Amino acid sequence: MAEVLYKSSPKLFIIAITFLGAFFFALLSWLVWSQYIIAKGNMALFFFLLFLAVSLAFFYLFITVKRVKLTADSLIISYFLLPFKDSFLFSEVKSVSQNSKKIEALVGSSWQMATIFVNVTTTFNFTNGKQVKLNSIGELDFNNFQTIYNKLKRQEGKIKKPKWNAIFYLVDNISGIFWLVLLVVLTCGLAFALIAK
């Protein structure tokens, strides 16, 4: 197997929101199920199934988060947690680009629009017409990827393998951190209430 010279780190927001979302809705379904056992109501059963379905959807999104790897002659798009991957030679890659879009919502008592998260989409276009879009690569991470990808594609000598930097990763993932903290507090509070019950 070829040596991996670069691999992206999935965005903290994507990993955390999918994992915590799965856990949070699983706790909600547990809460509703405990009420269903007591009351035997159809509405409780409906909400149990709804929350369980949402939890499973978030879990599916969590295990299917993708990352990008580069070897000396190929680009690999693989799952972060699953052992499946697609490998493409550099000659098969037509273009690579990244776009960002601000996600806004009404915030506060003044009802002003404010940016709550910046959604970054990385698009890979291939010569066979296939297109792959990923939301799991941060802007700074993409800059590193693009630099190494261009050097490898032009065969500019030996590439130094970059080391993972925690501070660089946190700076690249600052967007949406407030919502993650809020979700952690809500999830921990719900878990504590259910365990202490």
Give the per-residue pLDDT at 33: 87
What pLDDT digit, counting tens, does each position of 6-22 carry? 899 898 888 999 999 99
Look at the chain and count its residues.
197
Q: Looking at per-residue confidence, does 38 or 61 come out higher?
A: 61
Domain positions in the chain are: 6-91+137-196
List, in sequence order, every residue forming a beta bridge with 105; answer none if it has no partner. Answer: 114
Check residues 175 and 57 and name the one with the higher pLDDT: 57
Sign of the torsion angle spanned by Cα atoms 127, 128, 129, 131: negative
pLDDT tens for residues 149-194?
988 888 876 777 777 777 777 777 777 677 788 888 989 988 888 8
CA distance 96 to 177: 27
From the CB of residue 23, how many other CB atoms can be counted at a distance below 10 Å? 19
